[in-house]
Each structure stands twice: as structure tokens, then as C-alpha cells.
Amino acid sequence: MKILGCRWVYNIKHDEKNNVKKYKSRLVAQGFKQRPGVDFTDVFAPLDIIKFLFVLLVCILGWNHAQIDVKGAYLYGNLDIPIYVQQPEGFAVKGCEHYVCRLHKSIYGHQSGRQWNIELNEILFGLGFHQNELCNGLYTKSNCILLVYVDDIVVFSKSQSDLEDSILNIKIKLEITELGPVGYLLGVNFERIRDSAYLHQNTYINKLKNRFKNLPRRRIALPLKVGCILPDRVKENEIRETELMKQIPFKTLIGCLSFIANRSRPDIAFAVNTISQFCNGYAYHHWTIVVDI
């Protein structure tokens, strides 16, 4: 029998204006110690719903919509394989510190997303919703549409009464927080301006600016300069410089820029894709290009 460790992870959640919304702590298991076929089997859970959300916001612009958040979503999932963990820090039973805990509900681990999704499917199917074959995170019922991303659910409906009824039915089954019309989800801001939908990432980009506030800034007209020539490999006289570059968050910033390009800024996609080819062999020259982007 393998005993997994666990630890507390702390996070600060912000709203669409980058104001602190709440402080969160969650208990996570050491999933990297889980053994495939022994401690878990299937792990699939639907995730990629952002493109469908974009389409729905445009195609059914006049519909009412609301965002809800499921509290402690993973704790609704039932484990079908016995998992044992050490007692959480701060909650060890006095005199029984050597005891271990058996998990009956899923916390953060390999199969947690799948177990929660199985439980959610049973609830939504019981409420009369049908799962879409093209997008497993999309559910429909007469004049109501649901989009699910882990513990975030977006509800669309033609009438406000149907919208409220759908949320009420879900609220009977799950403990939820009602967040009102979609304003900020998956790093994207959503605004309805008259008869149009406006999508941007001001909140995420401002977070990024604060995170990398010490980087040098230059005024440039294009993400990638016209005629810019990038070396296809790191030269021998730059090897020492490359060792120093390991301390610079090159890959981290590339990942953040790729996220922005994919969500709302296709104008920087070519520049980001081009420079990302050097993630495994970059020098200071490459870093300056990333900073310019």
C-alpha cells in the first residue's frame, strides 16, 4: 500500500478589475507518486471550451447569460480506487500522528477532474440536459445552454426566468456562487457594448506587467522587427551567456505570450511562434525580442 503525501496550496483570486476577490487554500495530494493502473486509470476530463464560449457570445448575443462557480468541486467526485494519504498539516490527531487517511472523495490528483466530471454529468443528465458530441463541456436543454470548465459554469438562456430556473435547479444539487453575467473567465474579459460583444485581456495583461515589471521597456511599432534575422542555433561564444540565461524566465514569458496570442491577440502570434522555436537554445539576443513582444 502506497501512502501519498499532501500539502496546502494557497492562492489569491482576482476579479475582472484585478481586485482581490478572495483568498483560497486547497489540500493537494502528491499525484506524481501515483502509479498508473494501480492508483488511477482514466484521467480524461473536458477542458477546451473557450472557442465555443466565443462563438456562443456572438451567435446568441441577445440571450441572457450568467456565470456560476461550484465550491469545492473536486470534493463531489467519488473515488473508485482506494487512496491513502498522510494526515494534513495542522489537522493531525494528537497521539495518532502515525495514522493515515483514506480518501473517499477526490482532492487534487490525477483522476480528480474525471471523477468530478462523472458526478456533474449525473447531475446534469438528471436535470434533463444533453451532452454535446463535439464539445464534452457543452450541455443543452430546450432553450438553455451550459458551458462547463472544471468548476466554472456559464449558463445561457433566451429568457431570464429560464436562466434563473436552471441556476436554481443546479443550486439544489451543488453549492455554488452566483457571479452574474460573464465578466472574466479563463483569463479573458467579456463586455457587452450595445449590440456587440467585446473580448479583451486587459486584466491578464496587467497582471503580466506587474509580474515582469522590472523588465526593460522600449517603444516599438511591431512585435517583430521587419528584416529581423534570428540565429538558428546558439553560437559557441554565447554558451557562457546561455548559462546565465537560465536565470531569466524566457520559457515562462513565452508561455504567457502564447496564451495571449491564442485568446485575443492574433497579431502577435507569428512573432511568438517564431521566437518560441529557441526555447531549448536561446541567448540574450532572443530574450530582448521576447521583451519587445
Identify which of 6, 34, 14, 3 has the alpha carbon closest to the alpha carbon of residue 179.
14
Mean pLDDT of 239-264: 80
pLDDT at 94 over 90: no
Task: Give the amino acid at 137.
Answer: G
- pLDDT for the residue 248: 79
pLDDT at 108 over 80: no
- pLDDT for the residue 128: 92
Helices 160-173, 112-126: axis angle to 10 degrees equals 120
- pLDDT for the residue 126: 92
Structural domains of the chain, ranges and CATH numbers in brackets: 6-33+44-197 (3.30.70), 209-292 (no CATH)
Lowest mean pLDDT among 111-125, 180-194, 218-232: 218-232
Q: What are phi and psi of 198, to 5 degrees?
A: -115, 120
3-state DSSP percent of the chain in helix, strand and coil, to 5? 35, 25, 40
pLDDT at 63 over 90: no
The CA–CA distances, whole Å, from 269 to 87, 159, 160, 256 equal: 46, 38, 39, 12
Side-by-side strand order, sheet with 3-4:
3-4, 78-86, 100-105
Assign 173 a pLDDT band (cuts: 50, 70, 90).
very high
Q: Who wins on pLDDT, 111 or 66?
A: 66
Mean pLDDT of 211-221: 74
Q: Who wins on pLDDT, 261 or 198?
A: 261
Assign 114 a pLDDT band (cuts: 50, 70, 90).
confident
Mind listing the pLDDT tens digit for each residue in 144-155? 999 998 888 999
Assign 20 a pLDDT band (cuts: 50, 70, 90).
confident
The one-character DSSP state at 212 is T
State what percent of residues in the chain have pLDDT above 70. 86
Assign 221 a pLDDT band (cuts: 50, 70, 90).
low
How high does pLDDT run on average in the chain? 82
- pLDDT for the residue 32: 72
Mode of pairing for the β-strands spanning 78-86 and 3-4 = parallel
Task: Give the amino acid at 54.
Answer: F
Assign 242 a pLDDT band (cuts: 50, 70, 90).
low
Identify which of 174, 4, 209 has the alpha carbon closest to the alpha carbon of residue 76.
174
- pLDDT for the residue 171: 93
- pLDDT for the residue 276: 86
